[in-house]
């Protein structure tokens, strides 16, 4: 039995993780071209137009709207479908606040569906159980590049006549049954923030095949100004924010889009090998990726069975870290509905509990235990980083360290 690094043994990983340059001369050339246009406004320049065309073509979508962030994209999608005060929107309890922000700014009510214990994505049956006459949309999060069960979710949405918005912020080039995540629902939303597969600093996109939704999204991202005719119409029909993409962002985004397939292919090759290697280790429950799915691994998560593993998740992660592996106690600190703003009903500043004080007459409470499977995932998951620059050595070291640490605790159960 090898002595663990945490107890003074030799470290498994002695070389630094692979890194590389994300931006190059293509981004620079496009930036120069954008500046030479003498305008950085999306409606006058060509960069945002080129980017949206390229993005739509890549995804085989009829329409694409560029925005200022992934958060903005989801808000725009909600605005386009007409989500307003008191409407309910079903989403995931394990996600970034970006999935929720638009719902809350529309004064709508987030309703959380529980998760599949192994994909960590929303469970279709739980979604269906949360649908009420007030449900307007489902924001489906494809967590960490792993697609949710879109056939089932779309079937349920159609049955109940609710919209499906796909949050693909973490899921470029990922497919379910051969079809891209982002093209199953009514609208797909993406992020270009600096931590995503591709980056333009910040930025977002939405794709849709519905012309009405496209027109409304285009307007909603631009103060609800209507630029579709020859004159700009500024007599707006209802409130909308300014979430426009600018030409500099689009210039970088065009060049980044040329890289996205290669980036995702590298992450997929790395992630698939890591995923395969984690099967059969007592106490480690690998993530579930459907046979019909292609995952583009924004990160990789698995859960631990502490009793079988012989130690706590916390000690396991500490031991992995000591071996030189980048590992975390999960992705977010708790389920989203357990954040202070939901528990304390302080969504908006000031002395209001709106809309949780009972927009429909009954107060809304978010409580521990609302989504028990998601809470269990939060308590037991381990997050590993995946990156297109990681090497075979990084992969080998990660697998070796996990096996070494698990074997030690298996043999020395507390």
Which of these ranges, 93-101, 216-224, 239-247, 334-342, lies near ligand PLP under the rule CB under 6 A? 93-101
Give me the least distance between CB of 39 and ligand PLP, in Å please.
25
Phi, psi of 80 (to 5 degrees): -65, -35
Find the binder of ligand PLP among 119, 170, 380, 398 (CB under 6 A): 170
Give me the least distance between CB of 251 and ligand PLP, in Å please.
18
Which of these ranges, 92-100, 209-217, 322-330, 394-402, lies near ligand PLP under the rule CB under 6 A? 92-100
Give me the least distance between CB of 412 and ligand PLP, in Å please.
37
Residue 69 is a binding residue for ligand PLP (CB under 6 A): yes
- In DSSP terms, 204 is beta-bridged to 67, 191
Residue 70 is a binding residue for ligand PLP (CB under 6 A): yes
Binding mask 273-312 vs ligand PLP (x if CB under 6 A, - otherwise)? ----------------------------------------
Residue 166 is a binding residue for ligand PLP (CB under 6 A): no
DSSP state of 337: G
Which of these ranges, 63-71, 112-120, 180-188, 397-405, lies near ligand PLP under the rule CB under 6 A? 63-71
Strands 204-208 and 187-191: antiparallel
Token pair, residue 359, equals: 């927009």
Residue 71 is a binding residue for ligand PLP (CB under 6 A): yes
Which of these ranges, 14-22, 78-86, 165-173, 249-257, lies near ligand PLP under the rule CB under 6 A? 165-173
Token pair, residue 126, equals: 């739980």
Residue closer to ligand PLP, measured from CB, 63 or 243: 243
Residue 96 is a binding residue for ligand PLP (CB under 6 A): yes
**Contacts of ligand PLP in 125-144 (CB under 6 A):** 141
| Site size for ligand PLP (CB under 6 A) | 15
Residue closer to ligand PLP, measured from CB, 193 or 224: 193
Of 369, 309, 284, give the one whose Cα is nearest residue 112.
369
Token pair, residue 245, equals: 């993409």
Give me the least distance between CB of 203 and ligand PLP, in Å please.
7
> Rg (Cα) of the chain, in Å, rounded?
22
Helix axes 247-277, 392-411, angle to 10 degrees: 50
- 93 alpha-carbon distance from chain centroid: 12
Find the binder of ligand PLP among 12, 48, 52, 99 (CB under 6 A): 99
Residue 110 is a binding residue for ligand PLP (CB under 6 A): no
- 177 alpha-carbon distance from chain centroid: 19
DSSP 354-405: TTTTTTTSS-----TTSSHHHHHHHHHEEEEE--TT--HHHHHHHHHHHHHH
Do residues 199 and 193 make contact, with C-beta atoms less than 8 angstroms apart?
A: yes
Residue closer to ligand PLP, measured from CB, 135 or 171: 171
Peptide bond just before 257 cis, omega within 30 deg: no
Which of these ranges, 9-17, 19-27, 28-36, 90-98, lies near ligand PLP under the rule CB under 6 A? 90-98
- CA dist 257 → 22, 34, 53, 57, 199 (Å): 12, 16, 11, 11, 9
Give me the least distance between CB of 198 and ligand PLP, in Å please.
12
CA–CA distance, 22 with 199 (Å, rounded to integer): 8
Instruction: Count, in order, helices (H) and strands (E) of the chain.
Output: 13, 14
Residue 52 is a binding residue for ligand PLP (CB under 6 A): no
User: Three-state DSSP class for 201?
Assistant: coil
Which of these ranges, 95-103, 153-161, 217-225, 399-407, lies near ligand PLP under the rule CB under 6 A? 95-103
Binding mask 182-211 vs ligand PLP (x if CB under 6 A, - otherwise)? ---------x-x--------x-x-------
CA–CA distance, 81 with 85 (Å, rounded to integer): 13
Find the binder of ligand PLP among 30, 48, 91, 95 (CB under 6 A): 95
- In DSSP terms, 63 is beta-bridged to 208
Contacts of 155 (CB under 8 A, 6+ apart): none
Residue 256 is a binding residue for ligand PLP (CB under 6 A): no
Positions in the binding site for ligand PLP (CB under 6 A): 69-71, 95-96, 98-99, 141, 167, 169-170, 191, 193, 202, 204
């Amino acid at each position: 039995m090898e002595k663990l690094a945490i107890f003074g043994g030799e470290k498994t990983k002695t070389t630094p993780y692979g890194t590389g340059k994300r931006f190059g001369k293509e981004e620079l050339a496009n930036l120069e071209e954008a500046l030479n246009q003498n305008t950085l406004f999306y409606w006058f320049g060509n960069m945002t137009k080129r980017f949206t065309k390229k993005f739509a073509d890549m995804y085989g979508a009829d329409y694409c709207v560029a925005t200022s962030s992934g958060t903005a994209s989801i808000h725009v999608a909600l605005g386009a479908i007409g989500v307003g005060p008191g409407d309910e929107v079903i989403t995931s309890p394990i996600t970034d606040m970006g999935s929720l922000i638009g719902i809350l700014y529309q004064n709508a009510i987030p309703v959380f569906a529980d998760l599949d214990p192994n994909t960590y994505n929303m469970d279709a049956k739980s979604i269906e159980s949360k649908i009420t006459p007030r449900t307007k949309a489902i924001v489906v999060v494809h967590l960490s590049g792993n697609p949710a069960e879109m056939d089932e979710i779309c079937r349920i949405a159609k049955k109940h006549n609710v919209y499906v918005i796909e949050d693909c912020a973490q899921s470029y080039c990922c497919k379910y049954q051969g079809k891209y995540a982002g093209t199953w629902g009514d609208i797909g939303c993406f992020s270009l923030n600096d931590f995503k597969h591709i980056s333009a600093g910040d930025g977002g996109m939405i794709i849709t095949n519905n012309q009405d939704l496209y027109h409304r999204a285009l307007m909603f991202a631009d103060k609800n100004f209507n630029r579709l005719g020859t004159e700009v119409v500024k007599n707006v029909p209802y409130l909308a924010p300014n979430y426009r993409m600018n030409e500099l962002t689009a210039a970088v985004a065009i060049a980044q889009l040329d890289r996205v397939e290669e980036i995702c292919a590298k992450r997929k090759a790395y992630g698939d090998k890591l995923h395969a290697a984690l099967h059969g280790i007592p106490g480690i429950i690998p993530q579930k990726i459907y046979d019909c799915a292609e995952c583009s691994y924004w990160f990789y998560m698995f859960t631990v069975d502490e009793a079988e593993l012989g130690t706590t998740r916390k000690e396991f992660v500490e031991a992995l870290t000591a071996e030189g592996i980048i590992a975390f106690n999960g992705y977010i600190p708790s389920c989203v509905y357990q954040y202070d703003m939901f528990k304390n009903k302080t969504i908006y500043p000031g002395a209001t509990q709106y809309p949780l004080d009972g927009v429909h007459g009954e107060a809304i409470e978010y409580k521990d235990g609302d989504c028990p499977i998601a809470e269990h995932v939060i308590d037991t998951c381990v997050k590993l980083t995946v990156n297109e620059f990681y090497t075979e050595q990084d992969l080998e070291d990660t697998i070796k360290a996990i096996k070494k640490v698990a074997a030690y605790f298996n043999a020395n159960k507390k």
